[in-house]
């Protein structure tokens, strides 16, 4: 904890002064372009991976980067999605999974979560993903060997859940919001992107990314 406290002091002394104008502007409101939904895993830093500054991403995190399907029961994710889309007017939503995800391991073997009843219930939102992988692989039981497949399919299914939220559905219907599915590889730094037309994950187009970078420099 000491390094966390000293980090605050470093931020106030060294970082804040260099970005004072930005923070003073943000003090009066926010206008993020992207709703970024990712896992609570401590190894994921959305701003570091995307090289974005405060105010650019509206970030929602939970175990397994899960988006519960819309229902009349209000939850933190439902409220945050509605606020980001209907109030803040984000134009892009990213669902970002990652390698070595503990939540996906739990979804594969839910019987091992009896001592964590709330986690087990929460991961019930991943059941479609595990059932799809079981069907594709022709098996009734999944193992750690299926982790990558489940991680990718979970991202796809959470995007499907997003479509059930009224605020998202309305903006999709008018082309004001675009959905993106990513999987971040912790060890390599690679980011795989879901292609809705092919149904496959491919490495982020570096040529396109570098061209965009050149336009912003």
137 is in an annotated binding site: no
41 is in an annotated binding site: yes
60 is in an annotated binding site: no
Please give the radius of gyration of the chain, using alpha carbons only, rounded to the nearest integer: 19
Whole-number Å distance between alpha carbons of 106 and 108: 5
Yes or no: say if 47 and 106 are a contact pair by the CB < 8 Å rule.
no
DSSP state of 83: I
Name which of 45, 164, 166 is nearest 96 in CA terms: 45
Yes or no: say if 106 and 123 are a contact pair by the CB < 8 Å rule.
yes
146 is in an annotated binding site: no
DSSP β-bridge partners for residue 181: 95
Annotated binding site for Zn(2+): 39, 41, 98, 101
Annotated binding site: 39, 41, 98, 101
């Amino acid at each position: 904890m000491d390094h966390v406290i000293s980090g605050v002091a470093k931020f106030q002394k060294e970082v804040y002064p260099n970005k004072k104008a930005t923070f003073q502007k943000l003090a009066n409101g926010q206008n993020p372009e992207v709703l970024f939904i990712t896992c609570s895993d401590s190894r994921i830093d959305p701003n570091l991976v995307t090289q974005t500054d405060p105010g650019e991403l509206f970030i929602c995190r939970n175990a397994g980067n899960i988006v519960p399907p819309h229902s009349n029961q209000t939850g933190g994710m439902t409220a945050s999605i509605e606020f980001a889309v209907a109030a803040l007017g984000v134009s892009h939503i990213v669902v970002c999974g990652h390698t070595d995800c503990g939540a996906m391991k739990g979804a594969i073997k839910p019987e091992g979560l009896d001592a964590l009843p709330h986690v087990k219930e929460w991961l019930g939102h991943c059941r479609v993903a595990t059932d799809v992988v079981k069907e594709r692989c022709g098996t009734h039981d999944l193992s750690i060997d299926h982790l990558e497949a489940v991680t990718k399919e979970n991202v796809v299914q959470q995007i499907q859940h997003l479509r059930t939220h009224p605020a998202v559905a309305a903006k999709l219907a008018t082309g004001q919001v675009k959905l993106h599915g990513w999987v971040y590889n912790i060890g390599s730094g690679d980011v795989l992107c879901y292609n809705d037309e092919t149904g496959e994950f491919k490495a982020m187009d570096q040529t396109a990314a570098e061209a965009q970078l050149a336009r912003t420099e």
